[in-house]
Structure formats: structure tokens, C-alpha cells
């Protein structure tokens, strides 16, 4: 399901407020700062361009929202990850990271999806 930036922003703002109140499992400062950057970054204008990278007809499982995948890559860069496989693993093992990117917790894309997204960007129309 594709969320608009306004929906993403509202949802993430509410989650950040809850996470910051938790003393036992505080949100790491770097994650909080990255989330604040992404809150201000409206990627909705990129959606039509990203949609052109996908087949019009359904082929198997519905694709992840390309804006969420792009946001996940930006989050990866903001957190200074250098390994895509490690990033994909951390998205799966840390549900709050997935939520910051805009995914349903515990349902982020696998590393293969990330590599396929890079291929789509490189081989686009």
C-alpha cells in the first residue's frame, strides 16, 4: 500500500513520540535524527517516475511501494551503512528501522528486492 508523504509523516510523527517516551528501549539518536530528515523530505514527486520502472501488468507478488524502497536507501545512507545485505538484515531484525522507512514492521523487502530496485534505476526507461 502506497502512503502519501502526509500519511507517512503523520504516522511516523506519532511513532516517534511514543518511542521517545520509552526509557527502557530508547530510540538510538542516529535513528531519531535520520527519521527527522525523512519527515521533512517529501518523495511524492518521485512516485510517477519510479512507477515507470515497474511492469504495468501484474507479475507474481505485488511490488513494494517504490517510494518506501527509495526512502529505505536514503535511510541506509543517513545511517552510514556500507553493506546492502547487512542493511536488509537490520531492516528485518529492527522493526523500528522498517517503520522509519515506511514499511509494515517485520515486512521490509529482502536484499534481493533492494538489488532489483537498483537494477530498475540503472536500466530504467
Spell out the residues 6+ positions from residue 22 whose beta carbon is closer than 8 angstroms to its own: none
Grid look-up 517504490 returns 66
Q: Which residues of 9-21 are buried (b: 16+ CB within 10 A; e: fewer)?
A: beebeebbeebee
C-alpha separations of 3 from 15, 62, 64, 93, 122 in Å? 15, 15, 11, 23, 25
Of residues 113 and 124, more confidence is placed in 113
The predicted-structure confidence for 16-66, as pLDDT tens digits, reads as follows: 999 988 877 889 999 999 999 999 999 999 999 998 888 777 677 788 899
Whole-structure pTM value: 0.90
Note down the domain range covering 110.
Answer: 5-122
The dihedral through the CA atoms of 16, 51, 92, 29 has a sign that is negative
- What percentage of the chain carries pLDDT values higher than 70? 97
The tens digit of pLDDT for each residue in 98-107 reads: 999 999 988 9
Instruction: Name the domain count of the chain.
Output: 1
Quick one: pLDDT at residue 30?
A: 97
pLDDT at 109 over 90: yes
Residue 1: pLDDT band with limits 50, 70, 90? low
User: What is the per-residue pLDDT for 125?
Assistant: 60
Amino acid at each position: 500500500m502506497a502512503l502519501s508523504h502526509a500519511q507517512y509523516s503523520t504516522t511516523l510523527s506519532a511513532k516517534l513520540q511514543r518511542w521517545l517516551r520509552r526509557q527502557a528501549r530508547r530510540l538510538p539518536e542516529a535513528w531519531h535524527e535520520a527519521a527527522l530528515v525523512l519527515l521533512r523530505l517529501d518523495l511524492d514527486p518521485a512516485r510517477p517516475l519510479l512507477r515507470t520502472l515497474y511492469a504495468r501488468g501484474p507479475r507474481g507478488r505485488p511490488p513494494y511501494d517504490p517510494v518506501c524502497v527509495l526512502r529505505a536507501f536514503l535511510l541506509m545512507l543517513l545511517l552510514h551503512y556500507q553493506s546492502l545485505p547487512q542493511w536488509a538484515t537490520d531492516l528485518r531484525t529492527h522493526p523500528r528501522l522498517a517503520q522509519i522507512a515506511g514499511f509494515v514492521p517485520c515486512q521490509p523487502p529482502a536484499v534481493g528486492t533492494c538489488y532489483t530496485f537498483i537494477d530498475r534505476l540503472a536500466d530504467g526507461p
